[in-house]
Amino acid sequence: MNDLVKLTRDSDIGVITINNPPVNALSPGVPEGIEAAIQTCCEDLSVKAMILIGAGNTFIAGADIKELEKITSGEKPFDGAMFRLFPAIENCSKPIIAAIHGTALGGGLETALSCHYRVAVASAQVGQPEVKLGLIPGAGGTQRLPRLTGLAKAAEMCAGGELVSAAEAARIGILDQLVDGDLLQGAIAFARQVIAKGSLPCKTCDREIPPCDPQAMSAIKHAFAKRARGLVAPQKAIEAVEAASLPFEEGIQREAELFSECLFSEQSKALIHVFFGEREVSKIPGIGKEGSKLPIRHAAVVGAGTMGSGIAINYANAGIPVLLKETSQEALDRGLAIIRKIYTAMVQRGRITQAEMDQRWRLIQPTLNYDRFIEADIVVEAVFEGMELKKQVFAELDKVTRPDAILASNTSTLDIDAIATATSRPQQVIGHHFFSPANIMRLLEIVRGKETSPQVIATSMALAKTLKKVGVLVGNCNGFVGNRMFGPYQREAQFLVEEGARVEEVDAVLVDFGMALGPFAVADLAGLDVAWRIRHESQHLVAQGTRQPLVLDTLYEQDRYGQKTGAGWYRYPEGTRRAIPDPDVQQLIEDKAQQAGLVRRDISKVEIVERILYALINEGAKVLSEGIAIRAVDIDIIYLYGYGFPAHRGGPMWYADTVGLNRIYERICQFEQQHGVEWAPAPLLKKLAESGKKFSDLDRDRSLKRGLITEVE
């Protein structure tokens, strides 16, 4: 035993308590401590049974991910402590009961499965979420779980990684009993019942697998082949679960082989990078912790359009009262109708109850004036994307809000410093760029102006967590990080179709790469009118003579705004969002190319990927060198959560590292020769490529130079 695991007694019952805060992960020392405690109890003849329980708020939330990262990087060997622990639990001659509260996830559930019995409080959750890290359960989870739930349910849990409530876990056979009241006392009472029966411990590995409907397994395979497009781990998880039909030791061996394949895969490394990256982006140099934030008790949103309505929903969902202002009753009614439709759909899908909808609805308070804005701790402006209008709104807000209120703009591209000049308090002005649909998308791009105070930044980062968003702090420039990089991405997509590719072909190649949508489908979803507006708002920043896309302006002039008008780059049959290639658009592209003197040619899938993604990466390197993004991983998280970049590729900068910066740099130099100055390689990319370094090396070096970086809680 050690400080991580404590052994106490309740008469003839040994209580083994894991105390490894904050989540009782199976870090080095924990498996060894549990095994030592079991050994002590086995040697003590007065101990008749044992209870395994977690201290604090949870049972065991899983393995220590940092240890897995060390193994895959070669920093340390795999010692297999968990693999020794679970047979030690299962083969113990005295009953061991897992007492679960909080969560039992991954290795935590595998620990519980190796116990002879499992009890839990009603609020507990269990699951095997390893697939979210590109892994499968690797310590017997795919072999023991089917012996309790059956093959189909185990395959669904291991391939999907979703959590299961205690009530559901009891229904499907994972739990033996739900405990009312105090968990430990309930577990002790259960243990005494087991002792009284005098039966031998019930080993999970000895159980017969319940009969399985072959059609159910076939349906699960088909569903995950479609749902987990491009992902390896879900299919490996199903394969491992099917191996449970073998004798137990053979199944364990097969699971170990499949686990090893996943652990050392590029997909797992990328997903682990994402796991840590989501936590890393909350660490802001020079920003303090507790005590530095302003309280956000009341909010206000100016503009009840699609974005403003979605932003208001975020605040209401977090329990924060929010004023929603519009300039006319008609516009306000439209916004409220959007909100009601979203909440009604959530109730119909069972995501919230009618009572929860009613409660949230009451928190959204419509208004046509600024009378109550003095109550707001933060105001989010979500009006039309035009500088003059935004300045007008901020000038008004400066007069009607408290001096300490935060004034945030939802602008997606415009200069935060310019907006701040309309106020007498630029230190209170910041960008809160929500992504559409704002009530669903997890990313919040937080844009600091040159005078934005550390307190406002710290408050914004903490508020993102309250709103269940991933907040990423960025600097102020045209488009910030996300949309600035998206410009070259969209630019190359349009140039490719002018040069010979087809719209649907470019989109298909990017979807095959793993993007949620291709660039043209994304443009139609966002609205070509929005793209046109953004382009013309920033036209003064484009150098004279720079090649410009030929088709977008014409589509805008034809009122082809995308899905909202039923036609954009694609056609959309009335009442659907199904994109259909449009021969009229294809003809327009060919006509414009001919007028511009372009000779159309066949373009390979490889060139499509390289032109579009390398343009994205090159701009990302510029963003990094200018300090607009703090770290490369910040860019990755922005693109994963805001732009549908495939998580199993780790984000654009991580993907660049896996391809090799030298290779990308050489290809960009070739594109510069072929297509001109727009392809000039970023100096940072050139420097890293020539020195044999990666963007991840840059992140590490910068972190070491900064020293200790605090995280905004």
- Active site positions, annotated: 110, 130
Beta-bridge mates of residue 54: 18
Position of tokens 């113990």? 92
What counts of helices (H) and strands (E) characterise the chain? 30, 19
Residue 421: partners with Cβ closer than 8 Å, 6 or more residues away: 391
Position of tokens 């990927």? 609
Residue 125: name the closest of 174, 171, 163 by CA: 163
Backbone angles phi, psi at 14, to 5 degrees: -85, 135
Instruction: Give 3-state DSSP helix, strand, coil % of the chain, rounded to 5.
Output: 55, 10, 35
Position of tokens 């994307």? 385
Position of tokens 């290809």? 667
Report d(CA 579, CA 561) in Å as an integer: 13
- Helix (H) or strand (E) segment spanning residue 186: helix 183-197
Report d(CA 405, CA 428) in Å as an integer: 7
Asked whether 152 and 213 are in contact (CB, 8 A), the reply is: yes
Q: What are the C-alpha distances in Å from 598 to residues 82, 489, 587, 624? A: 63, 20, 14, 34
Residue 151: partners with Cβ closer than 8 Å, 6 or more residues away: 209, 212, 217, 241, 242, 244, 245
Residue 101: name the closest of 202, 44, 185, 5 by CA: 185
DSSP 319: T
Question: Which pair of tokens denotes residue 545?
Answer: 């003579």
Cα-Cα end-to-end distance for the chain? 33
Report d(CA 609, CA 659) in Å as an integer: 12
Helix 632-642 to helix 482-499 angle (10° resolution) is 70
